[in-house]
């Protein structure tokens, strides 16, 4: 019989954490939306990477439109942002989500969590429809196990006091010392910390080198971990102020 786990729930970020969505999903969907509305904007991957610290594609698109010459009137600019976001979401859900690779170790860890009764949830800056499309295509057997799913429509993930993480914790009905947040970036780590949650950072090529001080674990992949190991490493009483474990 499997031992009882200290870890009761995992809260996943999505973009760059569950799957490699940015380069092969969000970027081409944004560029396709720009082209569909006739805007002469086409981001390269290097340009898009530089925009990733800005939460949400709506603000990234807004900044790009402000640089057009001649500039758009403010009301036209905001209407264009709304339409761009709608089109981008449609392209992402209908065309790109099915193609996106999960990060190594994600499917195995999700399957183990479901099997052992560990709750799964999502807190993300992405739109809920996009999140559910990714789950439907890439984690179909366990998509219904993620609850709650709190994305852009639920609020601002990076807002002060981290309201989405706090809401997620309340809906899970668990205490922070039984829950692990998994993020890929410094901004995500800070959002989890603001809610008092231990956070493991599973970095990727474009977040490598960011400031991950305060994370309970920093590693390049989830493929090295099972639930027992994550619980022991991340909920084992390591003081975040003293540093983190890096693998």
> With contact defined as beta carbons under 8 Å apart, do 164 and 56 qualify?
no
Find all residues with CB under 8 Å of 226, minimum gap 6, and list them.
109, 112
Say how many C-beta atoms besides its own lie within 10 A of residue 161's C-beta.
Answer: 9
Find all residues with CB under 8 Å of 36, minimum gap 6, and list them.
87
**CB neighbour class for 27 (10 Å; exposed up to 12, middle 13-18, buried from 19):** buried
User: Three-state secondary structure along 94-143?
Assistant: HHHHHHCCECCCHHHHHHHHHHHCCEEEEECCCCHHHHHHHHHHHCHHHH
> With contact defined as beta carbons under 8 Å apart, do 247 and 218 qualify?
yes
Find all residues with CB under 8 Å of 220, minimum gap 6, and list them.
202, 203, 204, 208, 247
State the catalytic residues: 13, 15
């Amino acid at each position: 019989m499997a031992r009882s786990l200290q870890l009761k729930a995992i809260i996943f970020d999505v973009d760059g954490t569950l799957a490699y969505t940015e380069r092969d999903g969000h970027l081409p969907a944004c560029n396709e939306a720009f082209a569909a509305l006739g805007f002469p904007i086409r981001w390269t991957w290097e340009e898009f990477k530089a925009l990733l610290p800005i939460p949400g594609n709506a603000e990234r698109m807004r900044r790009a439109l402000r640089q057009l010459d001649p500039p758009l009137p403010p009301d036209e600019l905001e209407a264009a942002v709304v339409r761009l976001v709608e089109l981008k979401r449609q392209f992402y859900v209908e065309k790109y989500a099915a193609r996106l690779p999960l990060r190594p170790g994600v499917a195995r860890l999700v399957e183990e969590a479901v099997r052992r009764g560990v709750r799964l949830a999502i807190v993300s800056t992405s739109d809920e429809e996009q999140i559910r499309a990714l789950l439907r295509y890439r984690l179909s057997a366990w998509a219904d196990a993620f609850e709650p799913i709190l994305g852009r429509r639920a609020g601002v993930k990076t807002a002060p006091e981290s309201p989405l993480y706090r809401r997620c914790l309340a809906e899970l009905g668990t205490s922070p010392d039984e829950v692990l947040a998994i993020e890929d970036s410094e901004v995500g780590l800070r959002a989890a910390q603001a809610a008092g949650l231990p956070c493991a950072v599973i970095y990727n090529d474009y977040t490598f080198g960011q400031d991950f001080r305060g994370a309970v674990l920093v590693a390049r992949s989830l493929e090295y971990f099972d639930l027992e190991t994550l619980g022991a490493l991340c909920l084992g009483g390591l003081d975040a102020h003293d540093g983190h474990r890096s693998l």
